[in-house]
Amino acid sequence: MVTVTINGLDVSVEEGMTILEAARFIGFPIPTLCYHEGLSPYGACRLCVVEIGEAPRSRLVSSCTYPVEEGLKIRTASKRVVQARRMIIELLLASCPQSKTIQDLASAYGVRTQRFKQEYEDCILCGLCVRMCSEQMMAKAIGFRGRGTERSVGTPFDIQSDVCRLCGACMHICPACQLRCTYNEPEKAICNACANLRPPCLEKEQYDDMMCYMDPCVACEIK
């Protein structure tokens, strides 16, 4: 066990835990987007940043990747942390306003407007689907392509991957857009799983046998 100070509270936590795990275990909430208990930590959305150390040398680190250390001083909701999270949420809202997850975050942090050029993207590149596909489904059907502003998630060459088992787990875990079933726009689908379900879910008498994680499902709404 190691002893750390979280928001002024001295607590003993298990060695090897991350700050995020320790804080949540004790009961301090930390928002996350790219984190999932069943997947390896990724540290990309930066929403989970916390302040460690003491001023003036304190700094922000992503709590999902940082292991607890003996004597570490952690603040999960300092002014600096909240300010950073609010800016990240503003950036998220500017890119992906339709996501319920992001809308909830914005309301929790009191972010009411965003000041950038509005974009409507389907994906925030949190990588949950990519890790889901490779770590839990052992498929590696989808992955990241390109870099910088050109980065995207998809299959090699944008054609249906022959290792995709159409399991739909990628859609299930996506935080940006719960309405990701793209049966009607197959070219926009990540893995084309929904478009390639045989028979397609729109033929509803077959529906009971299908694996569908969509809630609500666009196809179901249409019917």
84 touches other proteins (CB under 8 A)? yes
Nearest approach, Cβ of 186 to other proteins (angstroms)?
19
144 touches other proteins (CB under 8 A)? yes
Nearer to other proteins, 118 or 198 (CB): 118
Nearest approach, Cβ of 34 to other proteins (angstroms)?
8
CA distance 185 to 134: 25
88 touches other proteins (CB under 8 A)? yes
Question: How many angstroms from the chain centroid is the CA of residue 12?
Answer: 29
Q: Which of 24, 73, 140, 165 binds other proteins (CB under 8 A)?
A: 140
Q: Which of 123, 141, 166, 171 binds other proteins (CB under 8 A)?
A: 141
For β-strands 143-145 and 73-75, DSSP reports them as: unpaired
Stretch that binds other proteins, among 97-105, 135-143, 179-187, 193-201 (CB under 8 A): 135-143
Nearer to other proteins, 88 or 219 (CB): 88
Nearer to other proteins, 81 or 218 (CB): 81
Gap between the terminal Cα atoms of the chain = 55
Residues 13-72 that bind other proteins (CB under 8 A): 33-34, 42-46, 49, 59-62, 65-67
145 touches other proteins (CB under 8 A)? yes
Nearest approach, Cβ of 26 to other proteins (angstroms)?
22
Q: Which of 73, 80, 165, 172 binds other proteins (CB under 8 A)?
A: 80
Q: What is the 3-state secondary structure (H, E, C) of the chain?
A: CEEEEECCEEEEECCCCEHHHHHHHHCCCCCCCCCCCCCCCCCCCCCCEEEECCCCCCEEEECCCCECCCCCEEECCCHHHHHHHHHHHHHHHHHCCCCHHHHHHHHHCCCCCCCCCCCCCCCCCCCHHHHHHHHHCCCCCCEEECCHHHCEEECHHHCCCCCCCCCCHHHHHCCCCCCCCCCCCHHHCCCCHHHHCCCCCCCHHHHHHCCCCCCCCHHHHHC
137 touches other proteins (CB under 8 A)? no
Nearest approach, Cβ of 115 to other proteins (angstroms)?
5
Number of neighbours of residue 1 by Cβ within 10 angstroms: 10
Residues engaged in binding other proteins (CB under 8 A): 33-34, 42-46, 49, 59-62, 65-67, 80, 83-84, 87-88, 91-92, 94-95, 115-117, 124-127, 134, 140-151, 155-157, 161, 163
